[in-house]
Structure 1
């Protein structure tokens, strides 16, 4: 048999049979049979690589395989992911791997970065595949809000191009490459991710529009006193507007944008590509107590947790297990009502409109914040309805009740 490049399955099968026969003879190195065996093996391997390419392992399958191989539990992966909840979300495919996670896992577990990035990401980055279902974006609602107006002239008319232009204008990598901006926070869910990304893109867009009005951002300004000073602006009748001005003078853009239907979103904290901090507020609940806690929570994220690759999308009705969410909650609560003052106050020991008003004057914060704290801690949301500041926030930002879903 004169070896040739394999062109057919019949030739492939014949070469396999010849290789098997040669191997049974166990030829000595340097003999004609040994040379024939080597040449046939090369030809067969080349054919198999072309005809039966090996697929790149799935990133999550690769991680779970290494866990089984090394006897690791999910808790053992916390150093690579940051928190237990993040480990669970990634392994359940509810959260993409970030660049930081990929680097840590590659070094710590010895899994190649190429495997962790995944074949689907490589295909996306080389324009071989576009796996984003653009029809799942809430286009009708986006159009109704005027979000897509300036992109309409650039698109040829297809919904896909319209939404692509909107998303890409903000630098978001959506779909397979979304790991470049990780999403944290309890507002995220796979079923609402398209709406959340659309809202996030809009917030980034509007945040950029405000950059000319921002002061210089200096991260060293953050402290518990800074948060406390912000909280005490609630004492004013125009507190929400004063808070926005306070933050923007210090280089933090604040965007008020109602949430999209189906999303349980209260606020967001992120940094734009140039490092500009942006806080997004939905005012999902038009109440003063909700506004002030959400705002302080997001400022705490900017101070402690946000980098350029991560965004926090928060539903503050939930009970978090992420230590960063717990820390943001703690800092917000302490800034609004210091723990020492709270535990000794008549408002805590004997709640009443009078004791709430008294503590409000002492701390120079709005009574709604104290009433909201009592409702939250008692889990009784029927008490002090008249004190939490219903319909007292949106009016400052020219939003109407129809924006609430």
Structure 2
């Protein structure tokens, strides 16, 4: 997980016996449905056992001994150790505690519930449990050690239009992490990813995200990149982030803060630039609008511009900006949408911010 600190020695998680059961089932080719029947449990109850929500009893331990080989005493010892670890980790986890109240208040909880990230509940203890479970941490101390420095976790493009809220950003990153886990990717291949970008540029001419996003995700997955689009909650001002969900899986995370094609695709190619140019260096840092732009951000901006409009065609921007026909011809030659050409002309001051906006595609995402 990209936000996990490596130099931590204090235990942050209790590992249920179900983890060992799952490993042994996999190594010995035992189906979960078979083992569930053997211990006289439904599939749902057996799933609860694997996750640690259901206790491992003497009867279950004896059946596991018969099916998986480890002794009943081993399984009962693992259960006892897990419950002791869990008790230590959850000691002091109290919704009435001032620190936990402040943490819950700092979360964009209403939006997290509306977006389906956390199931709503009126029970304050269960609400706290669900929020901790969303972040996959057992207590506030673990959350602070894991997420207190999201600036070290991702490279961001940000806008000074929006207020910074690191807690909201952590929630956004966490959901991006969860969504990326669902995408099957081949091993990370930076050279292949760089080669694919010219193919991806052609997707900018497709006006509907429901049509181009699956194609974008499929192409990038071939090079080991999981592309995820997650709506940013209030307070999260990131438009994109890059990090690694494992040694062989890159994650390119985009928000839907910007709804026009020129802004969305510039964000994508900017983040792609980080992966191509900076993936093998410890340079993934949070860029905020209250400080100077880092050299890496400048490099990613230049990379995005050149990917969208090759340098040989950029020289035509001033002349093309003088007419609608010139804009459309340049877009066709570059193989990008009209909106991308207009956006670059507006950024360079070649046309007014009010002109030619009808040429931009305004995307509608699920939930908008």
- Residue 38 of structure 1 corresponds to none
For structure 2, the residue ranges without an aligned partner over 5 or more in a row are 13-87, 94-98
- Residue 262 of structure 1 corresponds to 235
- Residue 235 of structure 1 corresponds to 205
Residue 306 of structure 1 deviates from its aligned partner by 3.9
- What do residues 319-366 of structure 1 show as CA deviations (whole Å, max 9, x unaligned)? 9611111111111100100222111x1654643211110111112211
CA contact (8 A) 1:269 1:313 kept: no
CA contact (8 A) 2:187 2:249 kept: no
Match of 1:163 among 126, 131, 135: 131
- Residue 274 of structure 2 corresponds to 301
For structure 1, the residue ranges without an aligned partner over 5 or more in a row are 1-95, 100-116, 401-405
The 5 A counterparts of 1:267-346 are 267-306=240-279, 321-343=293-315, 345=316
Q: Which structure would you say has the larger RCO, counting Cα contacts within 8 Å and 6 or more residues apart?
A: 2
RMSD, matched Cα: 3.9
- Residue 107 of structure 2 corresponds to 137
Residue 187 of structure 1 deviates from its aligned partner by 3.6
- Residue 182 of structure 1 corresponds to 153
Q: How many residue pairs get matched? A: 271
| Structure 1 counterpart SS, 2:125 | coil
CA contact (8 A) 1:269 1:306 kept: no
| Structure 1 counterpart SS, 2:238 | coil
Give the number of the structure whose alpha-carbon radius of gyration is greater.
1
Q: TM-score, normalised by structure 2?
A: 0.62
Quickly say closer, same or farther: Cα 1:173–1:208, change in 2 above 3 A: farther
- Residue 388 of structure 1 corresponds to 360
Quickly say closer, same or farther: Cα 1:185–1:168, change in 2 above 3 A: same
1:363 aligns with 2:331: no
Quickly say closer, same or farther: Cα 1:179–1:235, change in 2 above 3 A: closer
Aligned equivalents of 2:203, 2:290: Cα separation in 1 = 26
